[in-house]
Amino acid sequence: MIQGVGSIVGVDVGSTKTVAVVASVPPGRESTDPLEILGLGVTGSEGLSGASVTHLEAATRAVRAAVGQAEAVAGREVEVAYVSVPNACVRTARSKGVLPISGSEVTAQDVKRVQEVGRAVPVTSDHELIHALCQQYAVDGRDAVRNPVGMTAARLEADLCIVTAEVAILRDLSKIVDRAGYRADELVMGPLATALAVLDERERDAGVALIEIGGATTDVLVYRDHRILHAATLPWGGSTVTRDIARGLGVHEDEAAQLKEQFGAARRDAVDAREMLDVSGARHGGARRVSRELLAHIIEQRLDEILGLVYEELEGSGTLDRLEAGIVLSGGTVSLPHMDDLARSVFNLPVRIGVPSLGITGMVESVARPSYSTAVGLVLYGAARVPARGLAGATRAFARVGGWIRGFF
C-alpha cells in the first residue's frame, strides 16, 4: 500500500507546447488502483529551442501558466512535479550486476543489492544518471527471470538499462520548475513516460515500437519481452512539417501551423482535390487560394520521409523484425487524419494511434489526445514511486539524489 501525498503534477515541457496534468494520489492508494486525473493545463512553450533552454524566464512563465490552469481545473494546489526530459539529450546503455548468494534462497535484499551493483557505472562529467531500469534477472544462468525472490540460487544477475541525461538541461529544467513554484521530484525520460500511458503489457512483451512525433524531434523506443531494446531520436518533427508548409504555400509559420491543424492530412489521396483553402499569401504579395490536396501533399512528403528514417533506424538496430505487436504512434503530429494509414504503408506492420487511457480514471476524455500522452505518463510514473512515508516532507536535495534510486522497475 502506498502512502499518498494528495496530488501530483506531470509537466511535459515540449518544444511547441507545455502540458500539465494533475492527478490524485490519496493516502492508502494501492499501486494497482486506477489513477484519477483531476486537471489539465496547456500553453504554448516559450524559451525553448529543441532540447535547449534559450530563455529561462519565458520557459518558467509557460510552466507556471500550464500548471496553474491544471490546478484551477482540479480545484487544488500541487507542489510535487514530475518533469519530462527531452530524449535528444538522453543516452541509454546496458549494464549488468552480478551477486553471489550467500544463502540458498534469493531474498528481496539480494535483489536490491544486485541492482545497486548494476547501477554503479561510470558516467561522463557532462551527464547525470536519471534512471537505472531493471529489465530482467538471471538465476544461475537461467535468463528472463522477472522476479527471482524465493528462488534457489548461488549467483544472481540483473540486466539494467542505464539512462543518463545532459547535466545542463537537467539543471535548467529543475530551475524552471523551482522558479515556477513547484518541486521537481524526478526528471523523467520523455518516451519512458509516454510508454506508461499508451503501451499495454501484451505489446511490451510481444515487441512494439513507440514512435513519438513531437515538435522538434521524433523519438523511438522499442520494447520486447518487457525490456527496452532500443532508443533513438531523429532531429525532425512536427515543426519541420510546419516549415515545409510555410515555404510551399508562401505563408508565415503561424498560419502554416493553423492550416496543418485545421485542414491537414497525412495522405494526399484522402482529401478532395477540388477543395480550396484561402491563405494570406504573406510571402507572395497577397491573399490567394490553394488546393487542400497541395497542403496534404506537402505534409505527406515530409512525414513519409520521417517515417522512412525511423524504418531505417529500426532496421539498422536489428529490431524491425521483432515487432510482433507493430507500431504505436504518439505525439501531437500523429493526430493528423490518416496518419496511421501512412505509417502502415511505410512499415507494413500493425499500426495504432496511442492515446493515454491505461490505468487512469477521472478526466479520461479530456486527456485522450496523443499530444497529452507524456504528461499523463509522468503522473503514472510519479504515483508508482511515491515512497511509503509520503513526499510532503521531502527536500529538494533528496528529490535530486533519491529520485534515480527509486527509478527502476
Domain chopping of the chain, boundaries: 6-88+167-198+356-406, 89-165, 201-237+302-353, 239-293
Q: Is the pLDDT of residue 15 over 90?
A: no
What does pLDDT average to over the chain? 90
Pick 144 or 127 by higher pLDDT.
Answer: 127
Kind and range of the H or E run holding 308:
helix 292-317
Residue 100 region, left (φ>0) first, then alpha (ψ -120 to 50), else beta? beta
Q: Is the pLDDT of residue 388 over 70?
A: no
> Using one digit for the tens of pLDDT, what is the confidence trace for 213-258?
999 999 999 999 999 999 999 999 999 999 999 999 999 999 999 9
pLDDT at 104: 83
pLDDT at 397: 29
Q: What is the CATH number of domain 89-165?
A: 3.30.1490.110
Average pLDDT score over residue span 119-133: 95
Q: Please give the Cα distance from 15 to 216 (Å, whole number).
A: 6
Average pLDDT score over residue span 12-32: 90
pLDDT at 405: 29
> Using one digit for the tens of pLDDT, what is the confidence trace for 45-62?
888 777 788 889 999 999
pLDDT at 283: 64
Average pLDDT score over residue span 299-325: 98
Pick 16 or 179 by higher pLDDT.
Answer: 179
Residue 175 backbone phi and psi in degrees, to 5: -65, -40
pLDDT at 285: 63
Fold of the domain spanning 239-293: Actin; Chain A, domain 4 (3.90.640)
SS3 40: strand
Residue 190 identity (one-letter amino acid): G
Residue 13 identity (one-letter amino acid): V
Average pLDDT score over residue span 255-281: 94
Residue 396 backbone phi and psi in degrees, to 5: -60, -35
Choosing among 3.30.420.40, 3.40.50.720, 3.10.20.30, 3.40.50.1820, the CATH entry for 6-88+167-198+356-406 is 3.30.420.40
Whether 239-293 and 201-237+302-353 are alike in CATH topology: the answer is no
pTM for this model (two decimals) = 0.90
Distances (CA, A) of 296 to 192, 320, 388: 31, 28, 52
CB 281 within 8 A of CB 256: no
CB 127 within 8 A of CB 164: yes
Average pLDDT score over residue span 13-29: 91
pLDDT above 90 covers a percentage of the chain that reads 81
* 15-29, 309-323, 345-359: least confident range: 15-29
pLDDT at 282: 66
Which grid cell is 157? 544477475
Q: Domain 201-237+302-353, what architecture? A: 2-Layer Sandwich (3.30)
Average pLDDT score over residue span 184-193: 96
* 73-82, 239-248, 275-284, 329-338: least confident range: 275-284
Which grid cell is 279? 491563405
* 4-8, 197-201, 358-362, 374-378: least confident range: 4-8
pLDDT at 66: 97
